[in-house]
Amino acid sequence: WRFTFYIISFFTGLAVLYDKPWLWDHRECWTGYPQQPLQPSLFWYYLLELSFYWSLVFTLPFDVKRKDFKEQIVHHAATIFLISFSYCANYIRIGTLVMVIHDASDCFLEPTKIFNYMKWKKTCDSLFMIFSAVFLISRLVIFPYTVLYNTYYYSMEIFQPFFGYYFMNALLIILQLLHVFWSCLIIHMVYKFILQGTV
């Protein structure tokens, strides 16, 4: 069901954002802020994402406890705070960029897990390598350039720092630290795969 969600969410995000100017020119995130009207498509996209992450919180006690369980809790909490706060503070444009960037790699993670459980080793390994490349590029390159640089520097060209600036950036930094943590695990797994031929 997670795989189904990520596919729906990612393509919903692309459909909602493809004609939005801030997807292509990130300075547009701040044009007219805070008087940026909320379009119905953006509202439903936000509702879709927020409801999914709340469902992950409710199912967390029943999930298998993996080695990154604590990090998952921090991730879910930071994500819910980020989605909720960006909605309340009308950081909708930044929020939509964050969501679509994150869903890109998750589309490959869930089928990788499915094929791993099914013992389809070659399919699992191939999908894992694709997932690794998409994750590392989207979380360590695109996210910092598109979102972090945008919220730290572009916003300062228009506004002086205020509470929302600090709180939003703190949540985004927490998210980026988690990206670095998971990237280290993924790189270790890729290294092991190259040496031993197994993940």
Each residue of 66-91: pLDDT tens digit?
776 777 788 888 889 889 999 998 99
- pLDDT tens digits, residue range 36-72? 888 999 999 999 999 988 988 888 777 777 776 777 7
Cβ(101)–Cβ(18) below 8 Å: no
Q: Domain boundaries in the chain?
A: 1-20+36-44+70-196
**Is the distance from CB of 46 to CB of 87 less than 8 angstroms?**
yes
pLDDT class for 198, splitting at 50, 70, 90?
low
Give the amino acid at 182: W
pLDDT of residue 199: 62
Task: Calculate what percentage of the chain has a pLDDT beyond 70.
Answer: 98
Whether the pLDDT of residue 21 is over 80: the answer is yes
Q: Considering only residues 102 and 66, tell me which one the structure prediction assigns the higher pLDDT.
A: 102
Cβ atoms within 10 Å, residue 164: 17
In the three-class reduction of DSSP (H, G, I as helix; E, B as strand; rest coil), residue 52 is classed as helix
pLDDT tens-digit map of 145-180: 999 999 988 888 777 778 888 888 998 998 899 899
